[in-house]
Structure 1
Amino acid sequence: MNLGKFSRYWFFQAAGWGSFAFINTFFAYSFDKLNNRADVEVYFGRLGIFILLGILATHAMRFVIIRVNVLQKSFDRQVAQFLLITFFFSTVASYFYMMALQDRTWLKDRSWLNKNEHEYLEKNIFLLVLSLAFSFFLLLFIWNLIYFMYHYVSKSRKQQMDTLQLEALVKELELKTIKAHINPHFIFNALNSIRALIDENPGRARTAVTELSNILRSSLKAEKGETVCLNDELRIVKDYLALEHIRFEDRLRVEYQLDEETLKCEVPPMMLQTLVENAIKHGISKQMRGGLVRICSGFRDQFYELTVQNTGHFNGSGSAQGGGFGLSSTQDRLVLLYGARARFQIRQIGDDLVEAKVQIPVGM
């Protein structure tokens, strides 16, 4: 648990219950209810028991709310569960409150009971517990309302900050998208390859122009949406690899290991293309005999995994360190879109094989 949040929670607990005790004591003295030592003893004894049970009940409610994950559910379910939790703990607190008073009140000294409580006790102890439960319910309901509003406002502010950060990143990416996602050297190499094909294979040259046009168009449009379908992203990657194949010819081998169900999954735009470009730039292009680029997607545990493997050696010390703007922006976008649960890692998995892996929580 975060120490700062834990300390803040107990500070508000102390401030809230302290204010409750102060206000009740103020009105008790104001209306001359504490005229003698016996009245003071009864009043502060009851108040102490009430506040102790209140703290225990609210702390238990907080535990249940966190454990059941109430704050992450829909608004209607949150309201229903808050009311149910409040009713349950107010009933339990009133029962233990009555039990705590029994040693002083049950057939002995009933001075700890007020007039209404005397009447309820004479009729039925159940009515007394119900009356006390109503008092606890009002207080715990106010506590839950404050707790709900605090977390609702905190969550809204966090979402606003994340949105502002994402918008700022998008604006930065819009300015750097061609430089970051499509290496200028790739464009020049593609144009030279197309020029060479014009006389040799005019049909392939026309197809290559279309492929390059698709890549540039997609790069310019990439940051207008937060995510795109993996199937659409793959089309751009295949166009990119087709152009690179003109350059590398037999030195470039491509394999796909794709789970059909993952083609509908959403991914940040141009993320896969960035990883593939990184694999060719730092892997295949440095191998005299070329190598393999393998693109895989599938589900593992509670994550959707997207991996790019390539022939080569990884000399970096971290998941995105040393990878330039493209890889660092991939890490930033994953955190902003999916939170801390999203993972991005580049590592050496074999003597001559590097893997870049992205894990996105399922259902987010």
Structure 2
Amino acid sequence: MERMKPKISLYYIVQVGGWLCYYFVYCLLAYMGSGHVSFKLYFAHFVEAILGLMMTQMIRKKVLQRHILEKKIAIQSVNVLLLTVSFALVYAIVYSVLSIIFGLHSPNSNISFFNYFLLQWMYSFVILLIWSLLYFLYHYVEKNNKDELDKVQLASTIKDLELNTIKAHVNPHFMFNALNSIRALVDENPERARMAITELSNILRSSMQADKKKTTTLREELSIVKDYLALERIRFEDRLNVDFQVEEDLLGQSIPPMTLQTLVENAIKHGISRSVEGGMIKVSASSIDTRWQIQVENTGKLDLAKEPKGFGIISTKDRLRLLYGEKASFVLQDLPGNKVVATMIIPLNS
């Protein structure tokens, strides 16, 4: 089999090509200005181009390490200025030292070495600032284009999956089970039957509205989940234990509608209902730096052949990706002690 050659990214092509153009343009201008070949001057421009390439590479490295492109515009602007000033100073120091070593700074010049250093620092600051602005401008435009594309994809996905979403959240089995449970309560416990009808009504209303908005609050989502689990407890009785551990400060955070409901429903369907003894469902939410996570843990065993390919799991991953990109994630995994946990990590509201 023929081995594939590694693909060179567009950035490196533009980066190296840009500094080569810088070198040749300055050499051409030097020749046109003097009318003769000056290898010393050409070498000086070569050193400038190499230093410029090195400094801009280091600026880019710092930008990626500190995730500056993900921050607000004001913070990006401050970082651009600080990085440019810092690396322009490094550039000026290195170039001035090389000027002494290779004699690039003429001793017959009327300008002092200190002033020569200041000129180099100002010159390099302008060059690096232009590079930084072009670099950030490119990523800013690219991010806006990507956001617009994601919005179009999200709208298209919502439209394409609208019927499937409704079917997934209001499936016939749940409806039949809920109605049968309510019917059994009508004579036995009329008050609880009325509450169950209200809970079912809330779930149906939320399901029908799920495709009309991109996000809802965790408080609203938990309300629907509690109604859903209250109906399921009528069916499972003592076989279903429920535990909520949610940080109060996170109740106002945004979450795609019905995603938590989907995870809880999967936990019932693939975990609790498969066990004669029933089991436990634990819903927890906690903050992690600039993001927060919500977990649904249930008794059971993960069926790798089916569950990761189910509609609920796939739609949850797609909605998180389209809304938050790489800032959000979803993981479904086994835990020791016959448990399965689904974890969503979402950025905190700004």
Please confirm whether the aligned pair reaches a TM-score higher than 0.5, indicating the same fold.
Answer: yes
Asked if 1:325 corresponds to 2:323, the answer is no
Change (3 A) 1:83 1:238: closer
Asked if 1:250 corresponds to 2:238, the answer is yes
Q: What corresponds to 1:198 in structure 2?
A: 186
User: 1:83 is matched with which residue: 81, 84, 99?
Assistant: 81
- Deviation string, structure 1 residues 162-209 (Cα, Å, up to 9, x no partner): 222222222234332220112211112222332333344333222222
Q: Which amino acid aligns with 1:34?
A: G
Q: What corresponds to 1:67 in structure 2?
A: 65
Give distance in 1, aligned partners of 2:220 and 2:177.
Answer: 24
Give distance in 1, aligned partners of 2:50 and 2:264.
Answer: 61
TM-score of the superposition, structure 1-length normalised?
0.83
Deviates more, 1:326-335 or 1:282-291: 282-291
Change (3 A) 1:25 1:235: same
Give distance in 2, aligned partners of 1:105 and 1:307.
Answer: 66
Larger radius of gyration: 1
Q: What corresponds to 2:35 in structure 1?
A: 34
Percent same amino acid at aligned positions?
A: 43
RMSD (Å) for aligned C-alpha atoms: 2.8
Q: Which amino acid aligns with 1:254?
A: V
Q: Does the aligned pair in 1 maintain the 2:272–2:298 contact within 8 Å?
A: yes
Q: Which amino acid aligns with 2:97?
A: M
Q: Note the 1:1-364 alignment, pairs <5 A.
A: 7-31=9-33, 33-35=34-36, 39-103=37-101, 105=103, 110=106, 118-121=109-112, 125-299=113-287, 304-317=292-305, 320-322=307-309, 324-340=310-326, 342-361=328-347
- 2:214 aligned counterpart, secondary structure: coil
- 1:288 aligned counterpart, secondary structure: coil
Q: Does the aligned pair in 2 maintain the 1:173–1:223 contact within 8 Å?
A: no
- Deviation string, structure 1 residues 34-82 (Cα, Å, up to 9, x no partner): 33xxx52222122222222222222222223333433233222322332
- Deviation string, structure 1 residues 265-318 (Cα, Å, up to 9, x no partner): 332211121112112222222333433333233346775332223333332258
Give distance in 2, aligned partners of 1:47 and 1:360.
Answer: 49
Give distance in 2, aligned partners of 1:34 and 1:178.
Answer: 78
- 1:110 aligned counterpart, secondary structure: coil
Q: CA deviation at 1:145?
A: 1.9
Q: Which amino acid aligns with 1:312?
A: G
Q: Does the aligned pair in 1 maintain the 2:199–2:231 contact within 8 Å?
A: yes
Give distance in 1, aligned partners of 2:102 and 2:246.
Answer: 73
Give distance in 2, aligned partners of 1:310 and 1:110.
Answer: 77
Q: Which amino acid aligns with 1:335?
A: R
- Deviation string, structure 1 residues 203-229 (Cα, Å, up to 9, x no partner): 322222211111010111123333222
TM-score of the superposition, structure 2-length normalised?
0.86
Q: Which amino acid aligns with 2:243?
A: E
Q: Which amino acid aligns with 2:35?
A: L
